[in-house]
Amino acid sequence: MPSKAVTATSVSDNPQEYEAEHVHAVYDEIAPHFSSTRYKPWPIIAQFLSSIPPGWVGLDSGTGNGKYLPLPVERPGSMWTVGLDRSRNLLDIARTAGGVHREVVWGDVLGRPWRDGAFDYAISIATIHHLATHARRKAAVQRLVQCLSHDHGRALIYVWAIEQDELSKRSIPLQAHAEQATQLSANGSGQDVFVPWVLSTQSKPSQKSNPAPAEDQRASNEIASRTVQNAEEAAPKVYNRYYHMFAKGELSELVIEAARESGLHVGSRPTNVGPNKEVPRRGIEIVQDGWERSNYYVELRCWRI
Amino acid sequence: MVRLITHNLLACHVKGCTSNNFPLQFKDVQIELREAEFNPDFLRNFMPRIEWKALVDAARQLGDTSLPEEQPEMVDDEFLQKLHHVLLEVHVEEGAMVCPNCNHSYPISNGIPNMLLAEHEIG
């Protein structure tokens, strides 16, 4: 019986190779099965996309199977989200997400294959936590902000949290050590873990087996659902995916650090702007910063004077 | 997919390649035309965001000369239909996009552009 527990890990000296082995290769292997369990958008993300005006064009950086590309469902085609992902096999699924031809690009979240300020909005959902060092996660945030309109760009970033909700606590042994989780969170540095994906060659992916609420969260549901399947199937294969579980406050700190190091002011747009006044000319404002269903999220807006 | 809506956003990101790196030039392309839902509301609002010259030139490279050199001030339905076709119905399935500055070639296969670079190549 393969272990389905989330286990602590430490990143090797070469984070790039480490990600290639423990993130990129895994997603290419598990793409169809993974995709069959990722079909329901999260409320906060759906809400964000519904608030985007018609005519805007956006980037889904780490689009996976492209489940956010068809949104908002209430007015399809009123805006365009381009999906980028590192996994070619997931992109083959994303290119027709929702039964319509989508725009998808094979690329890395650390690249910037866009003209400056190309996008009006961007989302980065369950992606940055796959980068293996703080510096690389920060660079990913910087790349995301760089491709946004300086005047009005908006972004939403979601990452996995150390603080798991009740449902997850039952299925993730790591979280049984609640004390340890609190300590890790308190020092603000997060926790590097492996999250196993158990893939059986005979397994027929079932959408009904994940009653959620944590349908998007990349650990608890598959672990729970696979428990039942594994009982009747022989020799399933386990793929360990690398995750950095974020501590409380770590994501907003990361965004603030990324922005400041890019020369951006962090805070609301100055309102009293006289001709002789020394005020910052470009910045980002964090408009939402929270925890929901085992994830941390930050929403930001760009401004320029 | 590489439709012209996406081509209008892509730029070369090779290290040091920071000027004249947009728009990328199509090379050896295979095209498929597919009908898409017409959404005039999207097009009207999207128009100010388009790099117009890049779009017109790219359309010509793909054999479509329906768009005027300058973006028109008066926008009617006939024009929006043309714009819709150019932006959303012409799919580049195979071929490559080449940087006009450094000549780096980004292949397109099965409709998906490969914009990956080795990390030491990224600026």
Kindly report, residue by residue over A107-118, the tens digit of the pLDDT.
Answer: 999 999 999 999
**Closest to B40 in 3D by CA, of B66, B79, B4, B2:** B79
For β-strands A57-61 and A80-85, DSSP reports them as parallel
Same domain, residue pair A97 and A136? yes
In chain B, which residue's Cα lies nearest the Cα of A112?
B13
Specify the number of domains making up chain A. Answer: 2
Cβ atoms B83, B52 nearer than 8 A: no
Check: CB of residue A57 under 8 Å from CB of residue B48: no
Closest-CA residue of chain B to A109: B116
Residue B56 covered by a domain = yes
Structural domain boundaries enclosing A277: 4-170+240-304
How much is the average pLDDT of B22-48?
A: 96
Chain A and chain B share a number of CB contacts under 8 A equal to 100
Contact A114 B39 (CB under 8 A): no
CA dihedral for A117, B44, B92, A36, sign (positive or negative): positive
- Name the residue among A79, A92, A113 with its Cβ closest to that of B11: A113
Of A12-21, A48-57, A100-109, B53-62, the range with the lowest mean pLDDT is A12-21
Pair A72, A133 in one domain:
yes
Domain assignment present for B122: no
B88 phi/psi in degrees, rounded to 5: -125, -5
Examine the domain organization and report whether A67 and A212 are in the same domain: no
Instruction: Answer whether B12 sits within 8 Å of A102, measured CB to CB.
Output: no
Reference A248, options A299, A296, A192; nearest CA is A296
Average pLDDT score, chain A: 82
Same domain, A206 and A254: no
Residue A81 and residue A226 in one domain: no
Interface residue A88 vs chain B (CB under 8 A) = yes
The answer as to whether B98 is a domain residue is yes
The beta-carbon neighbor of B1 closest among A101, A107, A120 is A101
A43 inside domain: yes
Residue A204: pLDDT band (50, 70, 90) is very low
Give the model's pLDDT for residue A188: 66
The pLDDT-based confidence of A168 (bands split at 50, 70, 90) is: low
Q: Are residues A140 and A74 in the same domain?
A: yes
Backbone phi, psi, residue B54, to 5°: -60, -40
pLDDT at A263: 96
Residue A132 lies inside a defined structural domain of this protein: yes
pTM of the model: 0.86
Q: Quick check: is A135 in a domain?
A: yes
The tens digit of pLDDT for each residue in A236-277 reads 788 888 889 999 999 999 999 999 999 999 999 988 777 767
Domain co-membership, A109 together with A206? no
A90 and A19 in a single domain? The answer is: yes
- For chain B, how many structural domains are there in total? 1
Our measurement of the distance from residue A53's CA atom to the centroid of its chain's CA atoms, rounded to an integer in Å, reads: 23
- Alpha-carbon dihedral sign for residues B7, A151, A120, B66: negative
Q: How far is it, in rounded angstroms, from Cα B24 to Cα B22?
A: 5
Contact criterion met (CB < 8 Å) for B5 and A108: no
Reported as a single tens digit per residue, the pLDDT across A3-17 is 567 888 888 888 888
**Within this chain, do residues A251 and A208 fall inside the same structural domain, yes or no?**
no
Percent of chain A at pLDDT exceeding 90: 52
Predicted confidence at residue A280, as pLDDT, reads 87
Domain end marker among A235, A261, A283: A235
> What is the pLDDT, as a whole number, of residue A18?
85
Looking at the complex, does the CB of residue B9 fall below 8 Å from at least one CB of chain A? yes
Does B43 lie at the interface with A, CB-CB under 8 angstroms? yes
- What pLDDT is stored for residue A120 in this prediction? 98
- Tell me the nearest-neighbour CA distance from A119 into chain B, angstroms: 8
Domain that holds residue B28: 2-117
How does residue A229 score in pLDDT terms, banded at 50, 70 and 90? very low
Q: Which helix (H) or strand (E) holds B59?
A: helix B52-61
Q: In chain A, which residue's Cα lies nearest the Cα of B4?
A: A103
Tens-digit pLDDT profile for residues A82-99: 999 999 999 999 999 999
CATH assignment at residue B108:
2.20.25.10
Q: Please tell me whether residues A226 and A248 are part of one structural domain.
A: no
Chain B hits for A105, Cβ within 8 Å: 6, 10, 112-113, 115
The pLDDT value given to residue A187: 60
Q: Is A39 inside any structural domain?
A: yes
Q: Are residues A63 and A150 in the same domain?
A: yes
Is A112 near chain B, with CB under 8 Å?
yes
Give the angle subtended at the CA of A92 by the CAs of A233 and A116, to the nearest 5°: 135
In a domain, B123, yes or no: no
Query: Has residue A202 got a pLDDT over 60?
Result: no
Residue A57 lies in a domain: yes
- pLDDT for A184 beyond 70: no
In a domain, B92, yes or no: yes
How high is the pLDDT of residue A189? 83
Which of A235, A253, A277 is the last residue before a domain boundary?
A235
Give the minimum alpha-carbon distance from B79 to chain A in angstroms, rounded to a whole number: 16
- What pLDDT does A239 receive? 82
Choose the final residue of a domain: A188, A214, A235: A235
pLDDT at B15 over 60: yes
pLDDT of residue A68: 95
Question: What does the pLDDT read at residue A230?
Answer: 46
Give CA A12 to chain center in angstroms: 22
Q: Does residue B88 lie in a domain region?
A: yes
Looking at the domain assignment, is residue A252 inside a domain?
yes
ipTM reported for the complex, 2 dp: 0.96
Question: DSSP letter at B24?
Answer: P
Mean pLDDT of chain B, nearest integer: 95
Contact B9 A111 (CB under 8 A): no
Q: For residue A184, which phi and psi values (nearest 5 degrees)?
A: -60, -40
Mark whether A140 and A116 lie in a shared domain: yes
- pLDDT for position A171: 44
Confidence of residue A176 (pLDDT cuts 50, 70, 90): very low
Q: How far is CA B1 from CA A79, A84, A284, B108, B111, in A?
A: 16, 11, 31, 9, 4
Name residue A79's amino acid: M
Say how far apart CA A106 and CA A89 lie, in whole Å.
10
Residue B68 covered by a domain: yes
